[in-house]
């Protein structure tokens, strides 16, 4: 278990007031927890900027009746099997499907996969949710 370190910072009254409002709306119980969340987000962004090994989820929404799109999606997933850990397929309705593609690997390859999926004609929506493997130094 890691040890906690107490820090002290000085912040303008208006900034801390606005910060407290946002933290409360997000349901964060304390300023410490809110600041910890911000620091963790900044660390994840830094990992993605520095080309580290990262984790994340690429979400794609598409019409499964478009067979050429589905074929390109499958081909792309096979071409990036070195960064794809697994996929989760869900039927949103009769026509629309969602896939969550869980990824881990070098940031360049993960971004390349996302860009390739974005370029598939007919894709309704594609997002990349960046995360961390949690053990970067």
Q: What is the pLDDT of residues 58-72, one digit of tens each?
A: 999 999 999 899 999
**What CATH code is assigned to 13-49?**
1.10.1220
How would you label 4-41 residue by residue, b for 16+ Cβ within 10 Å and e otherwise?
eeeeeeeeeeeeeeeeeeebeeeebeeeeebbeeeeee
CB burial of residue 65 (10 Å; 0-12, 13-18, 19+): exposed
Mean pLDDT score across all residues of the chain: 92
What is the location of CATH 1.10.1220 in the chain?
Answer: 13-49
- Give pLDDT, residue 60: 97
Residue spans in the chain of domains classed CATH 3.30.70.1150: 53-131
Report the 10 Å Cβ neighbour count for 117: 23
106 to 16, 43, 88, 91: CA distances (angstroms): 37, 16, 21, 30
Q: Which fold has domain 53-131?
A: Alpha-Beta Plaits (3.30.70)
Whether residue 73 has pLDDT greater than 70:
yes
Of residues 4 and 81, more confidently modeled: 81
Confidence (pLDDT) at 46: 86
More confidently predicted of 40 and 119: 119
In this prediction the pTM is 0.79
Output the pLDDT for position 133.
Answer: 82
Residue 37 has pLDDT above 80, yes or no: yes
pLDDT (0 to 100) of residue 75: 97
pLDDT in the model for residue 1:
64
Start-to-end Cα distance in the chain: 17
């Amino acid at each position: 278990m890691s040890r906690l370190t107490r820090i002290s910072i000085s912040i303008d009254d208006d900034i801390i007031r606005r910060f407290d409002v946002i933290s409360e709306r997000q349901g964060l119980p304390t300023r410490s927890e809110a600041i910890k969340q911000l620091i963790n987000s900044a660390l994840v962004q830094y990992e993605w900027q520095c080309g580290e090994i990262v984790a994340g989820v690429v979400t794609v929404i598409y019409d499964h009746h478009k067979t050429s799109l589905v074929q390109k999606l499958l081909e792309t997933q096979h071409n990036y099997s070195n960064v794809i850990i697994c996929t989760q397929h869900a039927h949103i309705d009769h026509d629309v499907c969602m896939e969550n593609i869980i990824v881990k690997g070098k940031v360049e390859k993960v971004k390349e996969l996302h860009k390739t999926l974005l370029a598939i004609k007919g894709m309704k929506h594609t997002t990349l949710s960046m995360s961390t493997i949690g053990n970067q130094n």
